[in-house]
Amino acid sequence: MNPLKHFVVDASAIKTIGKDLKRPECILAERDGSIWTADARGGLVHLLPNGEQTLVLPKDAAQPGASDGLTSGSLPNGLAFDKQGNVIIANIGTDKVEMLTRKGDLSVLLDRIDGKPMGKVNFVLRDRKDRLWVTVSTCVNPWPNAIRNNLADGYIVLIDERGARVVADGLAFTNEVRLDAREEFLYVAETTGKRVSRFRVLDDGTLGPRETYGPSDLGVGLIDGIAFDAYGNLWCAMIFSDRIVAIEPNGDVLTLMDDGDKDATARFEAAFATGEVVPGDVMGATGGNIATWITSVTFGGPDLKTVYLGSLKKSYVPYFESPVAGLPMVHW
């Protein structure tokens, strides 16, 4: 039986780690029990299991970068480790793919595609062939103006030994991507499409046709981050409704957490359904208490059963224990 079948997150059992974090949107976990979080001061925070934390900023940054935490300044978003343990950053503020060493050396890996600025770079994933899959959510700036149900200008870039090239486009606010255990399919969170899509990955990195994985509409809120567990469930973080759902291997959906403000979520859904840009006050009123504006799910800990939650609005990282381990990432 699926170990998630009767599992619901117990809010009273949730613990937290970290303090004074700024926009810990994405989290990377390491075997030693430490985690790395994106930080809106323009760098990363390294958190040890004992609670000790270190802010790692680019060396040329005399002080933390000026940012509103949402749309301006350097805003590290999606993260991945390279083979050497450096952190590859999808920076949704600078619109670049960057690399930051653990000592603070910053370099730009990609800032243009086909001779043009990239747009809102959201996430980066490394695979077993050492290729990078990069998502660009939209070319609309600021990105909250792309939170509407009738825009699909997102795309996916593959960076390999041949360079960088677009391998899929016409996507609805492309967000996190994941590969299954065999790296047979690339799974894509289409935020404003309220769905997960997937593409078969061919040997040369070419992607097959898009197909919907699971339901065509995951319900209230918008899908943001995704992560596989070892059983094959795809965990989905639903921002604005602050839910966690899991798409089972058979395509059914389980609700694991529902922490949003029901009335605020209903107002958001009504505004989103119009096709117009969701007003800032309507969007801003949404969110729950556990991981306000939840964005991501990361498995860590010695047995990969500790689940860390990324968010846009919390200053710490909530975590809890899962009944099933996460699917190990390529760096594990």
Residue 7 located in a structural domain: no
176 found inside a domain = yes
pLDDT digit string, tens, across residues 69-83: 788 899 999 999 999
pLDDT band for position 66 (50/70/90)?
Answer: low
Q: Does position 156 have pLDDT exceeding 70, yes or no? A: yes
Amino acid 67: pLDDT: 74
| Tokens of residue 235, six digits | 């965990």
Say how many domains are in the chain.
Answer: 1
Confidence of residue 62 (pLDDT cuts 50, 70, 90): low
How much of the chain is helix, strand and coil, in % rounded to 5?
A: 10, 40, 50
Domain assignment of residue 41, yes or no: yes
| Stretch 179-201: mean pLDDT | 98
CA dihedral 150, 156, 157, 158 (to 10 degrees): -170
Please report the pLDDT score of residue 178 as a whole number.
Answer: 98
Encoded tokens for 272: 């989103």
Give the model's pLDDT for residue 68.
78
**Residue 63 pLDDT:** 62
Binning pLDDT at 50, 70 and 90, where does residue 21 land? Answer: very high
Q: Establish if 8 belongs to a structural domain.
A: no
In a domain, 329, yes or no: no
pLDDT of residue 72: 85
As beta bridge partners, residue 124 has 134
Specify the pLDDT at position 70.
Answer: 84
SS3 annotation, 48-103: CCCCCEEEECCCCCCCCCCCCCCCCCCCEEEEEECCCCCEEEEECCCCEEEEECCC
Neighbours of 303 (CB within 10 A): 11
38 domain residue, yes or no: yes
267: enclosing H helix or E strand: helix 262-273
User: What value does the mean pLDDT take over residues 254-283?
Assistant: 98
Rounded CA-CA distance 210/212 in Å is: 7
Tokens of 263: 């009335």
Kindly report, residue by residue over 294-321, the tens digit of the pLDDT. 999 999 999 999 999 999 999 999 999 9
Q: What is the pLDDT of residues 198-240, one digit of tens each?
A: 999 999 999 999 999 999 999 999 999 999 999 999 999 999 9
**pLDDT of 327 above 60:** yes
For residue 141, pLDDT over 80 is answered with: yes
pLDDT at res. 329: 97
Query: Could you give the CA distance from residue 95 to residue 132 in angstroms, rounded to a whole number?
Result: 16
Q: pLDDT tens for residues 89-138?
A: 999 999 999 999 999 999 999 999 999 999 999 999 999 999 999 999 99
Position 311 in a domain = yes
CATH number at residue 280: 2.120.10.30
Instruction: For residue 197, give its domain range.
Output: 22-321
Give which of 158, 151, 170 is closest to 133, Cα–Cα: 158
Q: Which residue has the tokens 């958001």?
A: 268
Percent of the chain past pLDDT 90, that is, above it, reads 96
Whether residue 161 is predicted with pLDDT greater than 90 in this model: the reply is: yes
Has residue 233 been placed in a domain? Answer: yes
- Residue pair 220/239 in contact by the 8 Å Cβ criterion: no
Which has the closest alpha carbon to 246: 273, 269, 213? 213
Q: What is the mean pLDDT of residues 246-266?
A: 98
User: What value does the mean pLDDT of the chain take?
Assistant: 97
Give pLDDT, residue 64: 65
